[in-house]
Amino acid sequence: MTESRRGVRALILLISIFLVLAYTAPTRAFSASYYLNCRKGNDSNSGTSAGNAWKSLSRVNRMVFRPGDSILLARGSVCYGELRPRGSGTAGAVITLSAYGTGRLPLIRAGKHPAAIELKNQSYWLISHVETTGGDPYGIWITGDQPNTVMRHIDLSQVVVRDVTGTPTKKDSGLIVFHPQAKGERFEDILVNGATAHNTTQWAGIYIDGSGSLPPSQYMGRDITVRNSTVHNVGGDGIVIHRTRNAMIENSVAYQIGLTRVTKVGTPSAIWNWDCDDCTVQYNEAYDTHTPGNLHDGGAYDSDNFNRDNTIQYNYAHDTDGYCVAVFGAGGKDTNINTVIRYNVCANDARLPSLAYQGDFFLSTWKGGSIRHVLIYNNTSYWNPAKPAYALFTKSAFDPAEPDSFFNNIIYSSVPGMEYDKPESPNVLKMDHNIFWYTGEGTPEWRKDDSRFVRLWEWQDATSQDVNSQYADPRLADPTYHSVGRPVHQFTLLPRSPAVGQGMRLANMGQHDFFGHPLPSTGPIDVGADQAHAADSADLGTGDPSPQFNLPAARGGKLSLHRLLSTHKAVLVSFVDANSLAGVSLRPAPSEAQTVVLKSMSRQYGSKGVAVLMIGDSGARSSRTITPVQLLNASYDWQLGRVPVLRDSAGRAARQYSVVHLPTTFLIGRNGEILRRWNGYVAPATLSFALQSAAGAFQRR
């Protein structure tokens, strides 16, 4: 071989190696950040720096973004039109749409465009820290039209979506909508976290369809979660997840739903699932729910047709037009299987007379549907309907394959109606170990078909139901409470309550009650949502004096514990993962859920002399990269005006308090003593109960 031919082959080899490296190198090496400032930018700019930002959404829409790219909108700016960025990320390099700078969230005004933000047939996106207004029929619309494909990993975090206009013609319309349009097309790994969605004349607040196929189908979405979100003032449903395996709706609030006058779309509820496998609804609050035309529903929580292995637990419902919780089955045999409803509190529901018949607990089947193995236990109901009706109403066909039961529940009623069993099949819902109490004049009432019974023993003898149940005052603390905000001490069992130790122990009852009290692993179970006799030492304080700190606040100045204690009765301080609050983490952390709770504590107890504050960037490894600007923006994004956010950049305060896990929360008394300490997330009821129980310490001024 000649030298020239060797040289040519060497050159070809080098070129081949270069091409291989170019095509196999990690995509992130080619990623870039693009900046949009609709107030000061220019579309002729490169867009690759804040000083050379683009100006219009249309300029962004012309770009096909690559894995790892970022689209950053200037805080405090307002953009007009519809944002339709193109491209998909990868599992290791998502595309990010977020904010830069300091101040209020960037705002997209969609006007009459179909949506403010649209993704279509795209995967691996993080959309965070943006606000949208307008759009018809959508605010944020995530969709696709390619049959038998999967759209994966789309996160919406800390977004505000509002004021979507138009008249609803379908359920997949509204503020935040995920809806695949093609048969077999589906979503996997979807997260909506910390979203605020409000004001729409369209249908839904947060609507997520996991699949574009009708049930029963082999195509289902997977791993879909909505948490820490607030929905209100919507035409139809509040928060719904349909056609999905492994879904979660938690720590969220839905109110003022069902405001539309359009009756042909459907009848809404606040938070519910349909065609959902292994789905959980927990730690939510739903109230002020309505339905167009006063037809049906208008309730809080609903396990609907084609659901399998669903759990509705630790929720609070109050002041609904319809039911507290419903179980439905229609369209074929075994259309609702293995629904568990436990440790919920229902208060002052059925405010609309025409819907009072549904009761607080409503089980209904039609069109050949049936319910198999529903377990309703350890719930507490303050039953105070606008029209006399029964707290439990069953009009269902039950599948005989497995038992169905209504056990360990408390019904505290202002009207006579307790239970109404109108079975659609020979199989019945088994009722036992419940406590009933009627506070009005006359006698309580149970009913089976057309037969009425005014004494519990008559009902027991005639039906063999409620054999171990009691008609007795359950002795509940503040049993008629139905205010906004989860119950704290309300509905807990007072001393000498007949509910203590009288419940039936069931398999797999969970770890704790509605209030966060642990359930005993052995021994008796109490009736209702409160496990009163369980020892709860997890929140006990050390009794040690609290270390002093003087830390800079995100919004300026410094704040010292000494000064707070001199002006307040107590201080509630929580060390949190600031990276999570600032959106640096791609997945949620317990600190985000704790932030929602701390905001609630500030609203409830700030006027009572309790200071609530957060310490971010505590020196933990995951928090060291946080910047003052990121922490400041987080205080705006989470609307923490009442809750100061302090910066512990060196981690000294965290070390003084022996903080290992985030979040860690302390309740500090007037004299500086640590009254309570919680390692990890602490539930709102548990936290509030501690504030209430420490009232004696608060009084030391």
Q: Cα(129)–Cα(140) distance, rounded to whole angstroms?
A: 13
Q: Pairing state of beta strands 674-679 and 664-669?
A: antiparallel
What single-letter DSSP state applies at residue 6? Answer: H
Q: Is residue 680 included in any domain, yes or no?
A: yes
Per-residue model confidence (pLDDT) at position 315:
98
As beta bridge partners, residue 383 has 413
Please report the sign of the dihedral spanned by the C-alpha atoms of residue 139, residue 145, residue 147, residue 150. Answer: negative
Q: Is residue 633 included in any domain, yes or no?
A: yes
Q: What is the pLDDT of residues 366-419, one digit of tens each?
A: 999 999 999 999 999 999 999 999 999 999 999 888 899 999 999 999 999 999
Q: Cα(56)–Cα(48) distance, rounded to whole angstroms?
A: 14
Q: Is residue 658 included in any domain, yes or no?
A: yes
pLDDT averaged over the chain? 89
- Place 216 in a pLDDT band, splitting at 50, 70 and 90: low
Closest CA to 580 of 533, 550, 616, 547: 616
Per-residue model confidence (pLDDT) at position 325:
98
Would you say residue 684 has pLDDT above 80? no
Q: Is residue 301 included in any domain, yes or no?
A: no
Closest CA to 289 of 335, 242, 351, 218: 351
Per-residue model confidence (pLDDT) at position 490:
93
Q: Is residue 123 included in any domain, yes or no?
A: no
Domain count, the chain: 1
CATH number of the domain encompassing residue 579: 3.40.30.10
Q: What is the pLDDT of residues 12-58, one digit of tens each?
A: 444 444 443 343 334 445 789 999 999 999 999 999 999 999 999 99
Per-residue model confidence (pLDDT) at position 584:
52
- Domain range for 684 is 550-698
Q: Is residue 619 included in any domain, yes or no?
A: yes
Going from the C-alpha of 504 to that of each of 406, 442, 529, the distances in angstroms are: 11, 30, 13
Structure tokens at 679: 């390692």
Q: Is residue 577 included in any domain, yes or no?
A: yes
Q: Cα(596)–Cα(684) distance, rounded to whole angstroms?
A: 9
Q: What is the pLDDT of residues 332-347, one digit of tens each?
A: 777 899 999 999 999 9
- Place 174 in a pLDDT band, splitting at 50, 70 and 90: very high
Q: Which residues contact 607 (CB under 8 A, 6 or more apart)?
A: none
Closest CA to 630 of 586, 576, 580, 592: 580
Q: How many residues does the chain have?
A: 701
Structure tokens at 667: 């309740």
- Answer whether 377's CB lies under 8 Å from 405's CB: yes
- Answer whether 75's CB lies under 8 Å from 105's CB: yes
* HSE value, Cβ hemisphere, 13 Å, CA-based, for 198: 11
Q: Is residue 690 included in any domain, yes or no?
A: yes
- Answer whether 246's CB lies under 8 Å from 277's CB: yes
Q: Cα(511)–Cα(629) distance, rounded to whole angstroms?
A: 40
CB atoms within 10 A of CB 405: 17
What is the DSSP code string of 394-441?
Answer: EE-PBPTTS--EEES-EEEESSSEEEEE--SSS---EEES-EEEE-SS
Q: What is the pLDDT of residues 536-565, one digit of tens each?
A: 434 455 567 888 999 988 888 888 888 888
State percent of the chain over pLDDT 90.
Answer: 66
Rg of the chain on CA atoms, in Å: 28
State percent of the chain over pLDDT 70.
Answer: 90
